[in-house]
Structure 1
């Protein structure tokens, strides 16, 4: 195992053990519920969108370390983004999970902790785990 793989594992476990933005909004928020029937992961994503910008995002749910870490990373990443950029980031993330995104695209997007999930592309069965929260975000922002 390379030191980079070890670092990525630590980042993923940190988000899993200490998730960011976990919880629910007490007031109205855009809410999307999704699940991955293949492995039992489920998520409720809530977002507040004002003036075309995601001002806050939170999630609840249960699942594997990949799905919950990805949700934590995603909520951190999209908070403060305009809706179009959030959707473009989701599209890039999906391509990264399929191994279709170039290193230049990933570097240019400055994905931060999200890059730690790049290795998931080597495990096709886990891609749905990593993309669950992202699919929920896309569904909510497109509706």
Structure 2
């Protein structure tokens, strides 16, 4: 009989199992995409917090004071921060009330007019209505109301 042909074969040598390192190109792309997403999310959050810091500070200070002149100063400070300085800095009296009205909801226009004009007729005042209007105005302040260019019409 002839010799067994299978006995002449060499044993099968298994290679090493593939390791995790080095990573495949697809994994590198996933890692880069995740890191970029985290970076831009953190950056957007920091910019958001920084942009609305003045609004938060003014709201906090308005809750602590009842003096109308102090509240008006805080509103002016917020308006100067969020709107063009050249358009807002010159506003006073009726023009200031009109500016606040144009950036408020239509249901708040008349009380805002009366409260703003009362600043110029009373020596000093503590009007809770003006405080509520100021809180409402700051609460309604958004990027949409800031970017719509409504100040140009005052």
Is TM more than 0.5 here? no
Considering fraction of residues, name the structure with more helix: 2
Larger Rg: 2
